[in-house]
């Protein structure tokens, strides 16, 4: 589904999903995007927590890693994956007294291709479900 070409990623099947979603309302399209983004966000949270468990002893860092829906900007749904522990920045980038122990960026880099493919599959699946729901709703409206 996802192919690498020249440093960027190309997700196949997006044109078909876009064409199908353009026939539906903007709210439905946003909902499809929001639900499709949950899949790669969950994958990233799992990978980051696995990396964080290897560098922290208290477990506070891995417990603080969460995903949150973010307000859509320009009609584009977003999901934020972040670490709320105050020491997360110090662990990731280091400081004058402590060497960097990155946990977030390596997780992003290792899961990038898999997340693109999972997003493409989830987007297609959610689009198909939304189109089916809209067709069912239209048939019900035409009947009664």
Is residue 5 predicted with pLDDT exceeding 60? no
Is residue 3 predicted with pLDDT exceeding 70? no
Query: Picking from 63-67, 73-77, 84-88, 96-100, which range would have the lowest pLDDT averaged per residue?
Result: 73-77
pLDDT tier, 24 (very low <50, low <70, confident <90, very high otherwise)? confident
Which residues neighbour 63 within 8 Å (Cβ) at sequence distance 6 or greater? 85
| CA 4/CA 45 separation, integer angstroms | 23
Q: What is the mean pLDDT of the chain?
A: 86
Nearest CA-CA partner of 84 in 63, 104, 70: 63
Write the Ramachandran bin of 42: left for phi over 0, alpha for psi from -120 to 50, otherwise beta: alpha
pTM: 0.82
pLDDT at 64: 93
CB neighbours (10 Å) of residue 88? 20
pLDDT at 1: 47
Nearest CA-CA partner of 112 in 46, 10, 51, 44: 44
pLDDT tens for each residue of 103-129: 999 999 999 999 999 999 999 999 999
More confident site: 120 or 6: 120
Provide the residue count of the chain: 144
Is residue 31 predicted with pLDDT exceeding 80? yes
More confident site: 42 or 74: 42
């Amino acid at each position: 589904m996802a192919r690498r070409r020249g440093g960027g990623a190309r997700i196949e099947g997006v044109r078909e999903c876009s064409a199908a979603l353009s026939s539906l309302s903007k709210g439905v399209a946003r909902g499809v995007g929001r639900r499709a983004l949950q899949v790669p966000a969950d994958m990233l949270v799992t990978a980051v927590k696995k990396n964080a468990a290897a560098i922290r002893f208290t477990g506070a860092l891995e417990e603080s890693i969460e995903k949150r829906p973010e307000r859509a900007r320009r009609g584009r749904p977003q999901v934020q994956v972040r670490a709320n522990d105050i020491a997360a920045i110090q662990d990731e980038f280091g400081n004058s007294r402590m060497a960097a122990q990155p946990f977030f960026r390596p997780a992003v880099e290792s899961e990038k291709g898999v997340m693109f493919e999972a997003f493409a599959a989830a987007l297609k699946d959610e689009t198909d479900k939304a189109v089916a729901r809209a067709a069912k709703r239209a048939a019900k409206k035409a009947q009664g």
